[in-house]
Amino acid sequence: MSTKYRFREKYRIELRERDHLPPHVHLTGGGVDVVISLETVTVTQGRAPAKVMQEAAANQADLLKEWMKWHR
C-alpha cells in the first residue's frame, strides 16, 4: 500500500499494489473507507468529502499513471 496524498492529517488517498481492476484508489481516515474510480473520478463505494474529491480530480492523471505502474 502506498499513501499518495494526505489531507488535513485526517484523510489519505492510497494505492494498493495488488488490487483489482478497474483503476481506483482508496480514501481512508476520519472514519471513512471510500473507493474512488480513477477513470471517472467518482465515488464507487462510500461517501467522500467534496474537498478530497476536488484534490483527486486535480491529481487524476498522476494517480492513474501510478496505478498503471503498479498493475501492469
Give the three-state DSSP class for 5. Answer: strand
* Residues across the chain: 72
- pLDDT for the residue 54: 92
- pLDDT at position 5 is 77
* pLDDT, tens digit, 9 for 90 and up, residues 8-59: 788 999 998 888 999 999 999 989 999 999 999 999 999 999 988 998 999 9
User: Measured between alpha carbons, how far is residue 17 from residues 47, 49, 50 in Å?
Assistant: 23, 24, 26
Q: Which three cell numbers stand for residue 45?
A: 463505494
Could you give the CA distance from residue 68 to residue 47 in angstroms, rounded to a whole number? 25
pLDDT at position 1: 61
pLDDT of 62 higher than 90 = yes
